[in-house]
Structure 1
């Protein structure tokens, strides 16, 4: 049986959507000792997305400390608490994906013999996490781990599940290659070009939709000898989706890839690629479409340790 842990999490957005950040901590409920403090900016996101991201960061940290822990997650967001408890429906696609990630974490902890319970707490009782989320909105990144006094083991870092922001102290730029999906021949050529660019053994391949993007994503993944992962936030615009909603969704996906810290190859429709380029270059919506992104083309970006993003090239065929 694992130990008892308490996660306290919060998130905020100045503008909703606007400048967003999250904060989370894990404490020993018996002694009150704080074991982990986390905070990170999220770029432009909604308040609800930030709340979810704080919850995910806290749960991952608790799992890292003890994968079989009995975890209580306290938040002042009734939306997140009720949705994660299964009492409220989840309609927004951003929330569905984040909730899915949360359920996966809960399932992992439960499978290891632990448990997870979500509880609502008044805002003033969540002041510590709220202060951390404000530090995130101010652009600060914090990942501070402390050993519990008398603990028989220190927290172990999880190498399988990505952290929620770039790892502190990363000394090399993170390379991200965006591949515009194409036909069979275009996908094969793209896979060869990606293989020539990527010599990092620790590489991940993400495909937006397994049914539509499989031809490109799976071809690239097979060439790199890795298993592709699906992330619906990289999908093309859905019917009725506004540009603002699309941008929030894709930027959220971009932030997750950057946070992973590994070389990444994303196979997706051209529109998400345009959104990423517009985001990192500060282009207004009306100029975004002036960028050429052809089927099977490659767009490469590098994210430096200080967060600066460099566009190495675009539309390479």
Structure 2
């Protein structure tokens, strides 16, 4: 059995939609890695998901035991209450949002044994607070990336 990885993630958007960013901290033993990126136009839920995706993409092995701590009820409930399985089974019918990211996430998720734990945001959890700083700093940055899944979606195009 592999050693456990701990991941904290957070997402942020300045307006919903608006500029956004994510932050993630990966911890294994005494090793710690921080990730963040900012996007010019996106949503909070997309940034919450992108934080988890970026953390999982940073792992070099599969089959790991992982605990992800997030303040996103959206993510925790989608997994712990079976929402994601229903969305996948119905191909996200009924206008469910963020299909591109959920599919990408699911392909990473099934490579590991992952448990999701909700933590209260903006409380006294130093790792969640650090992720919030990473996410908001990225959202406020000047070299923001394009969230193509959001900006290229015909439902989000504006003139």
- 2:41 matched to which residue of 1? 44
Q: Is the 1:3–1:69 Cα contact (8 Å) retained in structure 2?
A: yes
* TM-score of the two chains, using structure 1 as the length reference: 0.41
> What stretches of structure 2 of length at least 5 have no aligned partner?
88-93
1:54 aligns with 2:51: yes
- 1:169-188 equivalences under 5 Å are none
| C-alpha deviation, 1:106, in angstroms | 1.3
CA distance in 2, matches of 1:38, 1:76: 17
Q: 1:134 to 1:128 in 2, by over 3 A?
A: same
CA distance in 1, matches of 2:17, 2:151: 19
Q: 1:94 to 1:42 in 2, by over 3 A?
A: farther
Q: Is the 1:19–1:44 Cα contact (8 Å) retained in structure 2?
A: yes
CA distance in 1, matches of 2:64, 2:106: 16
CA distance in 2, matches of 1:12, 1:135: 9
CA displacement, residues 74-132 of structure 1 (integer Å, 9 cap, x when unaligned) = 100111111133533656544232122111101123xxxxx111111111221111111
- 1:5-84 equivalences under 5 Å are 5-28=5-28, 31=29, 33-61=30-58, 63-64=59-60, 66-84=61-79
Number of matched pairs: 145
CA distance in 1, matches of 2:79, 2:142: 27
CA displacement, residues 231-256 of structure 1 (integer Å, 9 cap, x when unaligned) = 9879874xxxxxxx423xxxxxxxxx
Q: Is the 2:10–2:131 Cα contact (8 Å) retained in structure 1?
A: yes
CA distance in 2, matches of 1:38, 1:103: 20
> What stretches of structure 1 of length at least 5 have no aligned partner?
110-114, 142-164, 167-230, 238-244, 248-283, 286-317
Task: Report SS of the residue matched to 2:110.
Answer: helix
CA distance in 1, matches of 2:150, 2:17: 17
Q: 1:74 to 1:236 in 2, by over 3 A?
A: closer
CA distance in 1, matches of 2:69, 2:108: 16
Q: Is the 1:76–1:120 Cα contact (8 Å) retained in structure 2?
A: yes
CA distance in 1, matches of 2:149, 2:35: 26
Kindly name which structure, 1 or 2, has the bigger radius of gyration based on alpha carbons.
Answer: 1
- 2:109 matched to which residue of 1? 106
1:134 aligns with 2:136: yes
RMSD: 2.8
CA distance in 2, matches of 1:77, 1:236: 23
State which of 114, 117, 122 in structure 1 corresponds to 2:115: 117
- 1:1-317 equivalences under 5 Å are 1-28=1-28, 31=29, 33-61=30-58, 63-64=59-60, 66-88=61-83, 92-109=95-112, 115-123=113-121, 124=123, 125=125, 126-139=128-141, 237=154, 245-247=155-157, 285=159
